[in-house]
Amino acid sequence: MPLKTKMSASLLALAFALPVQASEIWVSNEKDDTLSVIDIDTLEVVRMIEVGERPRGITFNSDYTRLYICASDSDAVQVMDPETGEILHDLPSGEDPEQFVLHPDDRHLWIANEDDAVTTVVDVETRKVVTQINVGIEPEGMAVSPDGKTVITTSETTNMAHWIDTGTHEIYANTLVDARPRHAEFVKDGSELWVSSEIGGTITVFDTTDQSEIGKIHFEIQGVHPDLIQPVGFELTPDHKTAFVALGPSNHVAVVNTETLAVEEYILVGRRVWHMAFSPDHSQLFTTNGVSGDVTVIDVASRKPVKTIKVGRFPWGAAMRP
Amino acid sequence: MRHALAALRVICHREALRFLGQRARMLAALVRPLVWLFVFAAGFRAALGLSITPPYQTYITYETYIVPGLCGMILLFNGMQSSLSLVMDREMGTMRLLLTAPLPRWWLLSCKLIAGALISVLQAYAFLAICALYGITFSPLGYVAILPALFLTALMVGALGIALSSTIKQLENFAGVMNFVIFPMFFLSTALYPLWKMAEASALLETICRLNPFSYGVESIRFALYLTPNPLAWGVCLTALIVFMALALWGYDPAKRMIGRKI
């Protein structure tokens, strides 16, 4: 056999031998103490992994070799090897960690401790608490600016977004938002901060240079009582032009024009939708529907729901792994 | 053969003329399902999507759910109306002309059935076009795939209509057919609510829905719209069509016919 043919034959054999790693969406199931892993190609759950009690926020590190899980009732952040699904160790997280954000340095986790009204900073390498910062009551939403200089904690009861300097670990600004802020995100390359208020039913948009309010997004769905319209998680398309906002028990996801802050469309999904994650090419969006225990897949281009996939009980957070 | 096709063409033409001549009927055929869609279904628009049952892959609004059922409604009302017009034909004497044609009776009745079904299918598509304008759309292939399902269901309800028409002596009895056949067939089917919802209400209702051949007509349309095969629905519709057609032939058989004296 000529060398070239032999080589291509061996390469072919190698290609068949290596399992092709399909992109996945990882979902935390709050009531099942499990994670469901959805294969993006087949849109089916391919793995269920047991984790600590009441997993909520989940996030991968930058090279997707580690998964961090807020195991709220275990009072720990668990570190998992996503290849094997094995829990490697726990990080000290303070009590009742609900959401967190991984600093762009890939080393510091900023964790909201709902019961203690503090934000805990943990070094994931030394596995030690670096500091704890007092914030408002019931902190939940966490966001970090793309330059890593500012971290936001939102407190659900104080109704504030706290702007924390990551260098000094000091709060340098507090901004009021509507009732029960649950999620925050820096958008448009860090020029704006969006904070969703669950009870207020709005998203407040801030200019990050002077923390001033630029505008507010309001929602209204025909035939749905305003009390049920509770924005929580949101995601922006890579061109920053469109935002998808999960509206909780209204069972809809709003499509928002980020320039005009007007809602363009509402998409029907499962019951009590909270968080979302895009597929790697941003062509699909996966929403976690807590009460109906499933994940709805939205086709981003047509803005239509295409499939709903059963996962564990009360899916909460979602994270993409390419 | 040429005669047979000529008969089919003439009967279709006559049916089309009759339909076009009755503007009110054409309008009623569209208004009826549209009222259901805009008024009845809109009331259920609320937050809750219907829970997922095949062929649906995700949550849908009630308005989306009800569309195949309303297509079925068009086929049912129109099919019955077209078949029951045989009663009028009989009263007017045109039936005598038709049935004395030198062609087998089963063929003449089939022509009548096919003509009625074609009109019904066209109306169903007109309804789907209005739905699309209203924002309820389906995949382009779905619109093609439902054609055989629409036609089969239209034939099935049309055949039932012909079988019934053989037993009706006077046109006035049409109201009775409305009350005792069309309405129960429509309401006790999966047209308005999915089977699981009926089961929640009562096991008896669910059983009746399961035994109602019209349910299977609606489901064959629903599944075809989502390009999902449903052999059971097709099987039931075909069987029902054969049974109804046999009854119709029996009803119109001069030897045993129930209408003998009238022709």
Three-state helix/strand/coil letters over chain A:
CCHHHHHHHHHHHHHHHCCCCCCEEEEEECCCCEEEEEECCCCEEEEEEECCCCEEEEEECCCCCCEEEEEHHHCEEEEEECCCCEEEEEEECCCCEEEEEECCCCCEEEEEECCCCEEEEEECCCCEEEEEEECCCCEEEEEECCCCCEEEEEECCCCEEEEEECCCCEEEEEEECCCCEEEEEEECCCCEEEEEECCCCEEEEEECCCCEEEEEEECCCCCCCHHHCCCCCEEECCCCCEEEEECECCCEEEEEECCCCCEEEEEECCCCEEEEEECCCCCEEEEEECCCCEEEEEECCCCEEEEEEECCCCEEEEEEEC
CA distance A49 to chain B (A): 25
Give the C-alpha separation, A287 to A93, whole Å: 26
Burial readout A94-123 (b: 16 or more C-beta within 10 A, e: otherwise)? bebbbbbbbbeeeebbbbbbbebbbbbbbe
Q: Is the pLDDT of residue B24 over 60?
A: yes
Residue of A nearest to B45 (CA): A223
- Among A78-82, B96-100, B146-150, whose mean pLDDT is lowest? B96-100
Q: Which chain A residues have a beta carbon less than 8 Å from that of B135?
A: none
Give the C-alpha separation, B81 to B178, whole Å: 10
Task: Indicate which of A267, A291, A308, A310 best probes the interface with B, i.e. most B CBs within 10 Å of its own CB.
Answer: A308
Give the C-alpha separation, A289 to A295, whole Å: 6
Interface contact flag, B57 A224, Cβ < 8 Å: no
Tokens of B157: 């309800």
Q: Which chain B residues have a beta carbon less than 8 Å from that of A228?
A: 47
Residue of B nearest to A248 (CA): B47
Q: Which chain A residues have a beta carbon less than 8 Å from that of B60?
A: 268
Tokens of A74: 């275990």
**Most confident region among A161-165, B8-12, B170-174 by mean pLDDT:** A161-165
Residue A240: CB atoms within 10 Å: 14
Q: Is the pLDDT of residue B250 over 50?
A: yes
Give the C-alpha separation, B210 to A296, whole Å: 30
* Residues A10-38 pLDDT 10s: 544 444 444 556 899 999 999 999 999 99
CA distance B46 to chain A (A): 5
CA distance B39 to chain A (A): 13
Q: Pick from A292, A288, A256: which is nearest to A273 by CA?
A: A288
Return the pLDDT at A8: 53
CB within 8 A of B33, min separation 6: which ones? B70, B71, B73, B74, B127
Greater confidence (B50 vs A241) lies with: A241
CB-based contact, B47 to chain A, within 8 Å:
yes
- Among A49-58, A122-131, B109-118, whose mean pLDDT is lowest? B109-118
**Most confident region among A133-137, A202-206, B82-86, B161-165 by mean pLDDT:** A202-206
Question: Which residues 140-169 in chain B show a CB within 8 A of chain A?
Answer: none
Give the C-alpha separation, B260 to B204, whole Å: 39
Tell me which H or E stretch contains B225.
helix B213-225
Return the pLDDT at A283: 94
Return the pLDDT at A168: 94
Interface contact flag, B59 A269, Cβ < 8 Å: yes
Interface contact flag, B60 A268, Cβ < 8 Å: yes
Return the pLDDT at A9: 52
Band of pLDDT at residue B3, cut at 50, 70 and 90:
confident
Return the pLDDT at A17: 47
Interface contact flag, A268 B49, Cβ < 8 Å: yes
Assess contact for A110 and A151: CB atoms under 8 A: yes
Interface A-B, measured as beta-carbon pairs within 8 A, has a size of: 41
A150: region left, alpha or beta (phi > 0 left; psi from -120 to 50 alpha): beta
CB within 8 A of B35, min separation 6: which ones? none
The one-letter amino acid at A185? E
Q: Pick from B137, B180, B140: which is nearest to B160 by CA?
A: B180
Band of pLDDT at residue A55, cut at 50, 70 and 90:
very high
Residues comprising chain A, all counted: 322
Greater confidence (B252 vs B228) lies with: B228
Facing residues of A38 across strands?
A25, A45
Return the pLDDT at B194: 85
Q: What ipTM was reported for this prediction?
A: 0.71
Tokens of B84: 């029951």
Give the C-alpha separation, A102 to A143, whole Å: 9
Assess contact for B74 and B81: CB atoms under 8 A: no
Greater confidence (A2 vs A176) lies with: A176
Q: Is the pLDDT of residue A2 over 80?
A: no
Assess contact for A267 and A304: CB atoms under 8 A: yes
Q: Is the pLDDT of residue A188 over 60?
A: yes
Residues comprising chain B, all counted: 263
Q: Which chain B residues have a beta carbon less than 8 Å from that of A306?
A: 57-58
Q: Which chain A residues have a beta carbon less than 8 Å from that of B45?
A: 222-223
Cα A142–A148–A151 angle (5° rounding)?
Answer: 30
pTM of the full predicted structure?
Answer: 0.81
Residue B95 to residues A279, B11, B259: CA-CA distances in angstroms? Answer: 65, 12, 11
Q: Is the pLDDT of residue A183 over 70?
A: yes
CA distance A227 to chain B (A): 12
Give the C-alpha separation, A55 to A96, whole Å: 10
Facing residues of A162 across strands?
A153, A174
